Every structure is written in C-alpha cells, then in structure tokens.
Chains A and B, each alone.
Chain A
Amino acid sequence: MTTEVVDMITVVIDGFEVTVPKGTLVIRAAEQLGIQIPRFCDHPLLDPVGACRQCLVDIEINGRAFPKPQASCTIPVETGMIVKTQLTSTVAEKAQRGVMELLLVNHPLDCPVCDKGGECPLQNQAMSTGEGSSRFEGVKRTFEKPINISSQVLLDRERCVLCARCTRFSEQIASDPFITLNERGALQQVGIYENKPFESYFSGNTVQICPVGALTGAAYRFRARPFDLVSTPSACEHCASGCDMRTDVRRGKTLRRLAGDDASVNEEWNCDKGRWAFKYVTAVDRLKVPQIRNSEGILEEASWPEALAAAEAGLKATKSAVLVGGRTTYEDAYGYSKFARVVLGTNDIDFRSRLSSDEEREFLAARVVGSSTTYRDIDKADQVLLVGFEPEEESPIVFLRINKQFRKRALKVVSIGSKESIAVDKLKAEFVKVAPGQEAAAIAAQSLTSKSVILVGERAAESAGALTAVAALADSSGAKLAWIPRRAGERGALEAGAIGNVLPGGRPVTDAAARVDIAALWNTDSLPTEIGRSTSQIIEAVNSGSIGGLVVGGVDPLDGDNSQATLAALDKAFVVSLEIAPSAVTERANVVLPVAAITEKSGSFLNWEGRARSFDAAVSDSLNRSDLRILSMIAQEMGISLNLGTVTAAIKEIASIGKWDGARVSFNKVNASTQPALNADQALITSWRRLLDLGTLQKGEENLAGTARQTVAVISPKRAEAIGVVDGDQLKISTTQGSVTLSALVENIHDDAVWAPRNSRGSQLLVNLGVAHGAVVTVVKA
C-alpha cells in the first residue's frame, strides 16, 4: 500500500493546538481534541450542508476575526486559524443558545410519546446548550402526525429540525432520491413525491441518523426505551456483505437492529433487510423440542436422549450424506464438515442449496478459498466488472461501496447480464447485454487492468463456461477476483470444507498430504479419499438408492433446480434435520433436532472478503443449542468424539489448522453451451432473487414486505411488439412443469430473454417453472 502524502495544518481550538490533515472541518478537528461542538446536520459520511446552524463557533484567521460566529461543520481548517467554541467564547455560546431556542420554537413537547426519547441528540443538546425555558408564547406550527412515507418509515414533520440528513443520505449514499425538502420557511418539511413512496432498500438508515424523532421505524414504534434494551454487537446473517450490527434485546426478544460502525466494511450503513428482518427468531412456530417420526409416520415430541438414539440408529444403518445450507456460521459449517468426514466417513457434503454446478465447485476450490479481495480494492479499482451479480439486490453494501466510488470519482462499472437493473442504471454502468447462458463470450471480450476488480456472483454458476471465462480473464489481466455469494454463510462453509472436493482451508481431498494434515488434527486414522458428491448428485444418489441417510441443516428444498427430486429424496432417505422452524425438510424428516437461531448463539460469518464477522449471543439465556453442539452430541451417541462441544473449541481448532501451501484443486475448463433455437413465442428465462422477497428469514415482516419491489415480468420492446403486449398487460410464462402470470414491463433486456423475480410473491420460479436461468420458456400474452 502506498502512503499518501497529506498536508498537515495546525490550528488552535480553545487554546489547544491540534494538527490535522488539510481539508478537515473545524468540527472534526475539535473532536480530535475531545471538544464536542453541538450539531444536528453534520455527519462524517455526508457532505457538509450547514443546515441546522447549531455548531456556531468564533473563528479568527491570522488575527482577522469573522464578524459573526461561523458554522464549524462547513469550514475547513486553515493555517493560523484560532477557534473559540462555546467553552471559551461567550459569543459562540450565546449564538448556540439562540439557535437552540429557535429550533425548539416549533418542536412539539411530545418527548414522552416519541421513540427517540432517551437517545435523542436534540433532547441531550437542549439540556447541554439550551436555555431552561422558552420565551416563545405563540402557537406552535403543527402538522398531521405521523405520516407513512413507506410501509416501514413514519414521518412526524412537527419534530423535524430540517437538518437534511435523511435527504442527503438518500441522494448521496443510496442514490434513491425519493425524499426531499419541500416548501420554505416555517412550513418547510420533508416530503415524498406524489406517486413514489420511499421505497429504498436503505431507508432504515435515515431512521438511524435522524437526530430527532421525525423519522421512526414502524416495527420499533413504541416498543421500548433505551434503558430497557440490552445491546450486543453482532453481525448480519442476511447476506455476505458482512455488516457490523447492534442487536437490541428486551427480555429475551429482539426489538430492533441497528447498523454498526465499521469503516472497512459497512461504514455506518446497512440495508433494510438486515435492519428489519429478525422476527423469524421469535416466530411462534419455532421448534423447541426434538421430534421423532413414529411407526405410524407421525412426528412426535421426544426427549433429547431418545432423539439422539434415533438419529444414531438411523445414520449407523446406512450410508449418509450431509446437506448444509449457506446460512450456517463458520464454526457450525466446520462442525458439519468434520462430522461428515469423521463420523459419516464421507466427502458427500455440500453447502450449496441453490442452483450450482461442478464448474463452480472447482472454481471455488481453485480460485476462491483463501483469496482476499476486499472493499478496499473496490475503493482503489479503476474498473469494476459485475458478472452474474446484481449488487443492490444480492449484496447491498457492495452496491453502496461501488456507488460511493462512482459518485466520488466516476468509477467505471461494467455489468454483464441479460436485463438492465436499477443498480446498473444508478451506477451509469456499461451494460453488456447477452442472452441468458451466453455470458462466457462477453466476459472473454472484456479488457481489464491489474487494478480492476471482478465481482462474480453465485448466479455465474448457472451459466456454463462463465466461471471459466472469469478465471481466464483474471489471469490474463491480473485483475482482482472476488466471488460474492448471496448467503452469509457460504464463504465460511467453503473455507470450512463443507463441500465435497476440499477439506478445511482449501486442502484438496485428493491430496494425501492434505488428508494427513487434517487427519492428524482431527485425531482420526484416515479421511475419505474420493471427491464427494455435489448437492444434486447427493439427491440423485438418494433417489437411486446408493445413499440412505441425510443430515440436513438449514436447507430449503425448494431453492434447488430440481425441487421435486429433492422432496422425493427427503421422503425416501432417513433424514436428520437440524432446524429452527418447521420447513419442507422437517415435514419429511425422521428426526428433527431444534437448533439455536443466530441471536441465541455466538460464532462468526466470513463475508465475501473472507473477513471474520464474529458475534456473541444477543439473548444470553437461551436454552437452544448451536448446530455444532448438537452434531457433537450425535457423534458422541455414535461413539466418536468430535471434540467440538463449544463454539470456543471450534474457534481454537480452526485457528490451529494453518494455511495450506500445497497444490490447489485444479480447475478444469468448461465450454460455454450454444444458445438453443427459439420459436417466436419462446424465450430464455433469466431471474435473480430480490433483496426483499419470500425468503425464509423475512417471514412475518409485514412492514418490510410493503417496500418490496413490484413483481413484474420484463420483456424487450421488440418482443412486446411481436406478441402485442404493453406495460401492465398480463404475461404468461410457462414450462412443462407449470406457469406464472405476471404484469408485463417493457424494458432494456435482451430480445431473447424474459426476466421475472426468482422468489417473490406470485413468482417463485423454481417452484412454478422449475427453471430460473438460461432455460427455454414459453412467453405469451395471458
């Protein structure tokens, strides 16, 4: 890393000298001395605006004083500057009191009913820098309270101090300028456009940065006071961005989650899903006690010893495999990985409960394990190439980071895909339009430099040859390569070896030295030598009878490409299911073991960078056990010790693995498939999952679901004309398995493609159609 040379400037604040980089604002220089100047509009990550005037200070430069107090949040330091804050200047102090009095003129005295009460910068600063009483005797300006500016954000205009933090955030950080300041004078107010609600994926941040109670969240409305809450630093389990979070719990129940402050990852932001989707943990149908399927085929509650004995008997009697979803923590994934090899004696384990390919598995083992492209690389990149990746929908903080660089220095972004997305539009990205399944050629045609970054999403696996082309492009250009899965646990599961071709740390299972390494650590004589089956191969093997048992943790069988076969396999096999709530798997399981949800256990996720995001249990007195603990109990029952009784034990063991410097898994090139011929009413389906959709972890979040984007089917203008469809007409997309009928939207999409959301209300493609990318579907006007 090159050290940047920065000019330093020394200023005097309240008689103390401080040396700061040129361009630093006076208010920040004062912070470095521990002098706090009151403020509302100032936010370190937003452009200065000087809207609230609360931070007035006396400034003198080289003996020449400003005639009036100045807003310290808009003035950068200069050589010879002498600043006097409210602590040393009576003029500044009086000015601040005056501003505070004016701000409070129209502020209602409804602190007792306001959610911000107790943690309100206005309350605090009115106490520290305000007058005890008001001289205002008139009638306060009132507005109708509160108005819904979206289904999850409420606006109380009376309380607003017009600091413009929310509008600046929406414009400068999220690029969703859906709210703005309307009117002038006393009637100035935050407002939304007439026909456009505040449907931004990042709207929750405006609630968090509002310095008064003007913007509040519908889900947390009137729920608690800050002194009720026990706050625990945590990490977000919703996607691979790896946001630092704070979980606030009252009496064992999560009431809200806030974005944490981690400058190297999420800065101070997070997305609405991370902020507002947590009710699934306290859902009424959570599994609490183990269940066993009795001789009549009905699930019955059982004691732990009974359930463990049943699991042992079933797993011992047959050859078993492990399916672990991409939502487990790193430590739990490590537990599954070790359990498969040591207890079940097999490499048949796969964390990819989604559309996947063998090409992807080799790519992950050869190129992704141990790699360390970071957010910092995006900051420094000369170009970002997006392949099979829709940043705003699939990893929102990556989108914010790209957007930040785009706004700062017009970072060039190239997106390869079939449908132009909202994010592509916001980032003014160069959109390389290809037919679904034909990404490989477009990737190969890109020219990058060694300073470029390739961000490849999990959907690249759905297009044969795309990952081969990505690897080749990274090799030829020297560009940094990062794989960004959608789920939080996938990178950790990969590093933990919860996949058939590698052991923990990327050691190939076919490498004898690698096996000896891990066998010694695991205190076992030998490890299985054959490359394990992938998810779809495991399902096939169960249906053909060569595998009789499945240990399934956190998998939704409807996420895969052949959901019917998966359900049949679950029906046929002896299934031990580790789950938090009833699902399609527990319905078919022979033994159901309840596990702890994310707030009830400690652990860590590895985000897409491979950075550990560790967290402690937010609910400390939960009786639920982690997957790891339960796997250890099953192993114990089967007479083998996993030695992973606690998360701490797993962390220690993982730390002792060490780096693998031997040969990696070789990556066999895969050729792109040729585009199938299409009739006039046929198209190639393409889709992605939206941020807010029917995901299991968003269950019960009505307010959140209210801001989900509309479910539409997207076709190109040419196709629309050919089949006689305009915006809003009903469009029927069908395969031999079934059909969906959606409202049509004519947009910039490849002429051979049709797009629909993968898992939204009314459009669950993998269930309805059985296909989601690159397959031929029939598109007709309904």
Chain B
Amino acid sequence: MSENLEPLKPKDLGINDVEFYEVEQTPAVGFFGSMKGFWVTFSTMFKKPLTVEYPEVKAPTAERFHGRHQLNRHPDGLEKCIGCELCAWACPADAIYVEGETNTEENRMSPGERYGKVYQINYLRCVFCGLCIEACPTRALTMTNEYELADDTRAKLIFEKQDLLAPLRQGMLMPPHPMYPDMTDTNYYNGDVKQSHPSQEGN
C-alpha cells in the first residue's frame, strides 16, 4: 500500500475523461441567513394538512394502484384462469404457484381444455410489480386497489384460489357448470358471452 493516504480526486481517476467541478457552498451569513430554514417550517403552519387519520379514514388510492390480486370470471361465472402458469413464470419473486387440471364435462371450471386447480399467491414474497398481470393471456389475473394485507401468521399470507377469486355478480353461476350453448372458448375470449344461460344451471 502506498504511503499517500490522500483520497483520490475524481480527476485522478480519469473515468472517461469526464470533467468534474467543485461547487462552492456559501455559508449562511448573518441573522436572517440562519433564520432562512425556519421560514419553511413556519410557512407550512398555514397550509392544509395532508395527514389522514388512518385507519378511521381511508383515502382512495390512485386508480392504478397495485393492490391484492383478483382472479376474474367470465360473465356466466366460469373462471377465466386456464392454469397456464405464465404468471408464475413471469413472477420475479417466485410468489405464485399454479397447478393446472383438465376440464371435463362433469367438472368444468373454465371454458376450453384447462383450468387452474391450485392457485396460490404468497404475499410475503409478492413485490406488486404487476408482471403477472401483463403475462396473463386471458385477463384472468388483475390487481385490485386493496392494500390492507397485513396479518399475524405467515400461513395466512399465502392466498389460495378461493381468497383470490372475484365474487359472483349478477347473471353469474357458480362453477362447475357447462359452457354457454353453442359457444366456444374463442367466443368467451372475444366477449360474446354476456351472461349465463338457463341450460347452464343445475349442475
């Protein structure tokens, strides 16, 4: 080690021959000079406070805030998720676990051949980056604005499929049930199915 313990100046490093300049800082001079900082503090006393009394008051999030995920349904209640695992593949935090299964006539959860039998998101790992949403080929996975995800055990923070599925809305039937008559999975993706059909009931 050299005797010279002086730190190297940027210029000595010669990084890409970039010119470095030292900015001179003028010290606060005089009484008003040292009071300058207090003025900023004082002026805020006359502004409207931004504090929200959470949890009594909950301010709405930004419209596209990345909150808890949701697994959506087609308008007749069938699940949009096809268990393709592309979300799990896209996930940089390895937070998603999916297992696919075959749809049968007796047990149909989604249009087409395949549905997601197991769907788990581990919110201890999730970084809410939204890459899973981009990867989803059927718009089955989207994000809600819900952010209150704290809990007291690790197990509770692994959300299962039933925790993530969207609730049934007007006109939806709880799967398993058959597909809309004379509609293919392509029709479903194109949005041709608007609501459930009476023949889909009673399964």
Contacts and interface: CB of A to CB of B under 8 A. Distances in A.
B is bound to A? yes
Interface of A: 112-113, 117-118, 145-146, 221-225, 227-228
Contacts of A117: 84
A223 B112 CA distance: 16
Given A112-B82, A145-B113, A222-B100, 13 more contacts: A112-B86, A112-B137, A112-B138, A113-B82, A113-B112, A117-B84, A146-B113, A222-B113, A224-B85, A225-B88, A227-B88, A228-B85, A228-B88
B89 interface: yes
Interface string B101-144: 11000000000111000000000000000000000011000000
Contacts of B137: 112
B83 interface: yes
A118 B84 CA distance: 11
Contacts of A145: 113
Given A112-B138, A145-B113, A222 B102 contact: yes
11 contacts: A112-B86, A113-B113, A113-B114, A146-B113, A221-B102, A222-B102, A224-B85, A224-B99, A225-B88, A227-B88, A228-B85
Contacts of A113: 82, 84, 112-114
A523 to B, nearest CB: 50
B114 A225 contact: no
Given A113-B82, A113-B112, A146-B113, A223 B100 contact: yes
Nearest to B101: A222
A369 B114 CA distance: 52
A146 B102 CA distance: 12
Nearest to A145: B113
Task: Name the 9 nearest CB pairs between A and B, nearest first.
Answer: A112-B84, A222-B100, A113-B114, A112-B137, A225-B85, A222-B114, A113-B82, A113-B113, A222-B102
Contacts of A118: 89
B193 to A, nearest CB: 18
Contact of B89 (A146, A222, A227): A227
A546 to B, nearest CB: 56
A223 B137 CA distance: 19
B113 to A, nearest CB: 6
Contacts of B112: 113
A59 B137 CA distance: 42
A113 B138 CA distance: 11
Chain A interface SS verdict (over half): loop
B79 to A, nearest CB: 13
A222 B85 CA distance: 10
Contacts of B102: 221-222
A248 to B, nearest CB: 14
Nearest to A222: B100
Contacts of B100: 222-224
A117 B85 CA distance: 10
A117 B137 CA distance: 13
A112 B83 CA distance: 8
A355 B189 CA distance: 61
Interface in B49-107: 82-86, 88-89, 99-102
Max chain B Cβ within 10 angstroms of own Cβ: one of A112, A118, A223, A227: A112
A228 B83 CA distance: 13
B10 to A, nearest CB: 44
A575 B86 CA distance: 52
A225 B89 contact: yes
Nearest to A112: B84
Interface in B25-70: none
A227 B94 CA distance: 11
Contacts of B99: 223-224
B59 to A, nearest CB: 38
A519 to B, nearest CB: 55
A218 to B, nearest CB: 9
A146 B100 CA distance: 17
Contacts of B138: 112
B83 to A, nearest CB: 6
A702 to B, nearest CB: 14
Contacts of B114: 113, 222
Contacts of B113: 113, 145-146, 222
B161 to A, nearest CB: 15
Contacts of A112: 82, 84, 86, 137-138
A146 B103 CA distance: 12
A529 B34 CA distance: 105
Contacts of A227: 88-89
Contacts of A222: 83, 100-102, 113-114
A371 B154 CA distance: 59
Interface in B4-19: none
Nearest to B117: A222
Contacts of B101: 222
A223 B83 CA distance: 10
Max chain B Cβ within 10 angstroms of own Cβ: one of A222, A227, A228: A222
Nearest to A218: B102
A107 to B, nearest CB: 15
B183 to A, nearest CB: 15
Nearest to B103: A222
B128 to A, nearest CB: 22
A253 to B, nearest CB: 11
Max chain A Cβ within 10 angstroms of own Cβ: one of B82, B113, B138: B113
A147 B114 CA distance: 15
Max chain B Cβ within 10 angstroms of own Cβ: one of A113, A221, A227, A228: A113
A117 B88 CA distance: 13
A112 B135 CA distance: 10
Nearest to A117: B84
A594 to B, nearest CB: 27
Nearest to B85: A225
A397 B100 CA distance: 33
Contacts of B89: 118, 225, 227
B14 to A, nearest CB: 39
B80 to A, nearest CB: 12
A768 B151 CA distance: 62
Contacts of A221: 102
Interface in B139-172: none
B120 to A, nearest CB: 12
A224 B97 CA distance: 10
A112 to B, nearest CB: 4
Contacts of B82: 112-113
B108 to A, nearest CB: 14
B142 to A, nearest CB: 16
A223 B84 CA distance: 10
A225 B112 CA distance: 19
Contacts of A223: 99-100
B107 to A, nearest CB: 13
A156 to B, nearest CB: 9
A224 B100 CA distance: 7
A251 to B, nearest CB: 9
A228 B87 CA distance: 13
A726 B121 CA distance: 63
A113 B110 CA distance: 12
Contacts of A146: 113
A744 B96 CA distance: 56
A757 B100 CA distance: 38
B86 to A, nearest CB: 6
A145 B184 CA distance: 12
A146 B138 CA distance: 21
A145 B89 CA distance: 26
Contacts of B88: 225, 227-228
B179 to A, nearest CB: 14
A124 to B, nearest CB: 15
A145 B185 CA distance: 12
A224 B137 CA distance: 17
Contacts of B85: 224-225, 228
B71 to A, nearest CB: 15
B67 to A, nearest CB: 25
A228 B85 CA distance: 9
B156 to A, nearest CB: 21
